[in-house]
Amino acid sequence: MEPTDLTPPPAGSFWNDTGRSGITSWIFSTDHKRIGLLYFYSVFGFFLVGVLLGLLIRIELMAPGRTIMGPQAYNALFTVHGVVMVFLFIIPGFQGSFGNLVMPIQIGARDVAFPRLNLFSWWLYMAGAVIILTSLFTGGGPPDTGWTFYVPFSERTGTNVSLAVFGVFIVGFSSIITGVNFVTTIHRLRAEGMTWGRLPLFVWSLYATAWVQILATPILGITLVLIMAERILGTGLFDPSRGGDPLMYQHLFWIYSHPAVYIMILPAMGVISDIIPVFARKPIFGYRMIVFSSLAIAAAGSLVWGHHMFTSGMSDIAILVFSFLTFIVAIPSAIKVFNWVSTLYRGSISLEAPMLFALSFILLFSIGGLTGLILGAAATDIHVHDTHFVVGHFHYVIFGGSGFAFFGAMHYWLPKFYGRRYAEKPAVIAWALMFVGFNILYFSMMVLGLKGMPRRYYDYLPEFAPLNLTSTIGSWILAAGLVLLLVNLFRGLRHGERVGSNPWGGATLEWSIPTPPPTENFAEEPVVTHGPYDFRGAGIP
Amino acid sequence: MSSERADNHIIGYGTLTAVWVALLVLTALTVWVSRHTPGIGHVWGSLAIAAAKGGLVIAFFMHMRYEGRLLRWLLFLALVTLVIFIGLTFFDVLYR
């Protein structure tokens, strides 16, 4: 790498061409690229907080008994880890950062449909985040309910649950606003020739996700308000002694929170669908079926929330129906995996960092998805419900899937916006460390779960000690890889080799404009004449 | 565009007043149904009346009656989703 050239980005790029200066040119900017970077650094900052909390949890579980903290601190730690990772990192992550950065350019637009609303969504997100963080240090201390805030415990605990759920409520509004903005943008602002059949698959995935955000998030909002009503007014909605129903809470919570898993994973699938053709030098296999599967996952995934409640006392018929519906989601998910693999078949594969993250996504997501079927089948779920198997499965899908796709997207798109790139060799080493560490960390958890170790327990039997130690060592390897990734990527974006407009040879529109992109993206509105993966049509060898 | 059509359309006071009166009558009907319908019937009756009231508000106060097909379909999609959410939840309660 050439770590020298420190000249500023060219005039006219979105880095320079603003009416304001300093911090106000960012926090009051309505440019989708600046808002995208605001989101990126915000969500990634919270991701690092979540990682730190996760590492502390693993250190505590390294050996039986007390290691570094007491049980109350442990309860608070896994709750805050979950709330931060789910609500502050991965749900807003793709839409807010890469969705904002890339989507308007990919459809040939100058900005999103409602730029001010876009900025407002970031402000709401930050306000919610501040409220959630405030809940850790005020009132009765950090919430200790787990990120699911299950009743009746969340009604009765003396910790600061009310403020935390209020923060999540605010973040939910931010998510809805982003969803409305993206649906409107994709419907209304596509450039001439950018037909629905020429939309990049990342845009299709954002579109499907945006609908889930619009339709499901209000239900989370209502549910969180009901928790506050229970705690503050004592309404008895979930209290059987007063005619309430605790299972109703679980229904309401999972009606949102299961589709939320698809808010987390669908854009990641879009990223993978964009990366693989570029690094395999082949058009995507089965474009229409991937589009269909994105919409099908969004639709079918919204109907399966009951599989979180198989052991809660739900009716047998409902268990049967939800179990059946859960298996249906596997079909569109498998369509995607088969199409990605078919795209790779006989491709001219280039194993650079974005591609390595994309390939590991396929493997890790497949493991996460297949273990999900074990949980979706009522008979097997009863044996592994609320064990470490669930924790392992969930992390395979969300960290191995969405997380690795996020790292892939960072390596793939950030050089476009910074005009510089990272060093390849350290990036590959970082990926290898993370891949190995990840599997040691979470595969151990799944085996622990099969052996019967419950999740969320502070202490455990001595027979579980060796695998817990193994899992903790895996977390350190993963963390080492993450540190290397961060140092290499951000050092590269600041001091690395300059890149041209199309460093990877992509055929989507973002690669047709200068690097870094100009403030309004296109000098004049583009006319699209070829598909997003038609390299020959785009004149790319 | 459909949004422009909705912007330009002005609903007369007469229509708005008629809708308002209809909403008041339906509210009174809800109270009557809750007191005079036996068994689970009052729940279904109240739900039906609430749906009718919602329909009036959406059609006239929110101008959906004068919108284009696309926006109507999008709203329909949202309502169908809500019905499915409620239906599947009731499904558990009814068979528990």
What pLDDT score does A483 carry? 98
Cβ-Cβ contacts under 8 Å for A144 (sequence gap 6 or more): A72, A75, A76, A79, A157, A159
Note whether residue A20 is domain-resident. Answer: no
Which residue type does A97 have? S
Q: What share of chain B is helix, strand, coil (3-state, %, to 5)?
A: 85, 0, 15
Q: How far apart are CA A449 and CA A278, in angstroms?
A: 39
Q: What is the mean pLDDT of residues A302-310?
A: 93
d(CA B78, CA A434): 41
pTM: 0.91
Residue B7 pLDDT class (50, 70, 90 cuts)? low
Q: Work out the average pLDDT over B17-35.
A: 95
Q: Is the pLDDT of residue A5 over 60?
A: no
Q: How far is CA A146 from CA A13, A153, A525, A535, in A?
A: 44, 10, 49, 48
Report CB contact under 8 Å: A251, B78.
no
Q: What is the distance between the alpha carbons of residues A342 and A345, in angstroms, rounded to a whole number? A: 5
The answer to whether the CB atoms of A315 and B70 lie below 8 A apart is no
Scanning every residue of chain A, which has its alpha carbon at the shortest distance from the alpha carbon of B93? A315
**Helix/strand/coil (H, E, C) string of A220-263?**
HHHHHHHHHHHHHHCCCCCCHHHCCCHHHHHHHHHHHHHHHHHH
Closest CA to A521 of A531, A533, A509: A509
What does the pLDDT read at residue B37? 82
Q: What is d(CA A288, CA A201) in angstroms, rounded to the nearest whole number? A: 10
Per-residue confidence band for B75, with pLDDT thresholds at 50, 70 and 90 = confident
Burial code of A437-471, b = ≥16 C-beta within 10 A, e = fewer?
bbbbbbbbbbbbbeeebebeebebeeebeebbebb
Q: Please check whether residue A325 lies inside any domain of the structure.
A: yes
C-alpha gyration radius of chain A: 23
Which of A182, A196, A215 has the most B C-beta neighbours within 10 Å, making it the best mutation to test the interface with B?
A: A215
Which 3-state string (H, E, C) describes A24-93? HHHHCCCCHHHHHHHHHHHHHHHHHHHHHHHHHHHHHCCCCCCCCCCHHHHHHHHHHHHHHHHHHHHHHH
Q: Which residues of B touch A187 (CB under 8 A)?
A: 70
CB contact under 8 A, B89 and A219: no
pLDDT above 90 as % of chain A: 89
Backbone phi, psi, residue A326, to 5°: -60, -40
Q: Which residues of B touch A251 (CB under 8 A)?
A: 89, 92
Domain assignment of residue A530, yes or no? no
Model confidence band, residue A423 (pLDDT cutoffs 50, 70, 90): very high
Q: pLDDT class for A17, splitting at 50, 70, 90?
A: low
Give the residue carrying structure tokens 């890889």: A481
Reported as half-sphere exposure (CB side, CA atoms, 13 A), residue B53 has a value of 17
For residues A482-511, average pLDDT = 96
CA distance B83 to chain A (A): 12
Out of A313, A315, A322, closest to residue B95 by CB? A315
Average pLDDT over residues A46-50: 97
* Averaged confidence pLDDT in chain B: 86
The answer as to whether A27 is a domain residue is: no
| Count of alpha carbons within 13 angstroms of residue B49, beta-carbon side | 18
Q: In total, how many domains does chain A have?
A: 1
**A536 has a pLDDT exceeding 60:** yes
**Residue B3 forms contact with A (CB below 8 Å):** no
- Select the residue of A215, A315, A318 nearest B78 (Cβ to Cβ): A215
pLDDT at A224: 93
The angle subtended at Cα A493 by Cα A488 and Cα A494, nearest 5°, is: 100
Q: In this predicted model, which residue has the larger pLDDT, A350 or A10?
A: A350
pLDDT at residue B4, as a whole number: 43
Contact A52, A59 (CB under 8 A): no
Tokens of A379: 């008979």
pLDDT at A2 over 60: no
What pLDDT is recorded for position A415? 97
* Section A410-439 average pLDDT: 97
Among A22-31, A123-132, A199-208, name the one with the lowest average pLDDT.
A22-31
Residue A302 and residue B88: Cβ atoms within 8 Å? no
CB contact under 8 A, B96 and A187: no
Q: State residue A9's pLDDT score.
A: 63
Q: How many CB atoms lie within 10 A of CB A65?
A: 9
- B91 and A245: CB-CB below 8 Å? no
pLDDT tens-digit series, residues A361-407: 999 999 999 999 999 999 999 999 999 999 999 999 999 999 999 99
- Which residue is closest to A188 within chain B, CA to CA? B1
Query: Which of B92, B93, B94, B95 should one mutate to test binding to chain A, selecting the residue with the greatest count of A CBs within 10 A?
Result: B92
| E strands, B1-96, in order | none
| Confidence label for A19 from pLDDT (cuts 50, 70 and 90) | confident
User: Does the pLDDT value for residue B18 go beyond 70?
Assistant: yes
Contacts of residue A110, defined as CB under 8 A and 6 or more positions apart, other chains included, come to A104, A520, A521, A522
Percent of chain A with pLDDT over 70: 98
Looking at the complex, report in whole angstroms how far the Cα of residue A148 sits from the nearest Cα belonging to chain B.
18
Q: Is the pLDDT of residue A1 over 60?
A: no
> How near does any CA of chain A get to the CA of B74, in Å?
10
Contact residues of A toward B, CB < 8 A: 187, 211, 214-215, 219, 245, 247-248, 251, 255, 302-303, 306, 313-318, 321-322
Residue A532 has pLDDT above 70, yes or no: yes
At residue A192, the 3 state secondary structure works out as strand
**pLDDT attached to residue B1:** 38
The set of long-range contacts for A227-231, using a CB threshold of 8 Å and a minimum separation of 24, is A227/A149, A227/A151, A227/A154, A227/A155, A227/A161, A227/A162, A227/A165, A228/A162, A228/A165, A228/A166, A230/A151, A230/A155, A231/A154, A231/A155, A231/A161, A231/A162
Q: Which residues of A touch B82 (CB under 8 A)?
A: 215
pLDDT of residue B9: 77
- Complex ipTM tops 0.85: no
Hey, what's the torsion of the CAs at A335, A340, A345, A351, to 10 degrees?
A: -160
Q: What is the CATH number of the domain that holds A396?
A: 1.20.210.10
Burial class (CB in 10 A: 0-12, 13-18, 19+), B85: buried
Distance from CA of A333 to the nearest CA of B (A): 21
Domain boundaries, position A503: 33-512
Nearest to A48 by CA among A524, A292, A407: A407
- Interval A68-91 mean pLDDT: 94
Q: What is the pLDDT of residue A10?
A: 63
Mean pLDDT, residues A341-366 taken together: 96
- Find the radius of gyration of the CA atoms of chain B: 17
Q: Which two tokens stand for residue A162?
A: 């009310």
| Mean pLDDT, rounded, for A417-432 | 97
Chain A touched by B84 (CB under 8 Å):
yes
Quick one: average pLDDT of A414-420? 96
DSSP code for A109: -
Q: How far is B13 from chain A (nearest CA, A)?
A: 31
For residues A468 and A61, the answer to whether their CB atoms sit within 8 Å is yes
Residue A448, pLDDT above cutoff 50:
yes
> Does B96 contact A248 at a Cβ distance shorter than 8 Å?
no
Is A476 strand, coil or helix? helix
Beta-carbon contacts of residue A206 (< 8 Å; ≥ 6 apart): A94, A95, A99, A103, A182, A186, A267, A270
Q: How far apart are the first and last CA of chain B?
A: 49
Q: pLDDT (tens digit, 9 = 90+) per residue, A162-219?
A: 999 999 999 999 999 999 999 999 999 999 999 999 999 999 999 999 999 999 999 9
Q: Do A245 and B95 touch (CB under 8 A)?
A: no
Q: What is the pLDDT of residues A147-166, one digit of tens each?
A: 999 999 999 899 999 999 99
Residue A12 lies in a domain: no
- Residue A337: per-residue pLDDT: 96
**Stretch A469-489: mean pLDDT:** 98
Crossing angle of the two packed helices A404-418 and A465-495, in degrees rounded to 10: 10
Confidence of residue A4 (pLDDT cuts 50, 70, 90): very low
How far from A471 is each of A375, A394, A504, CA to CA, in Å? 21, 15, 36
Quick check: is A537 in a domain? no
Q: What average pLDDT does the structure give for chain A? A: 94
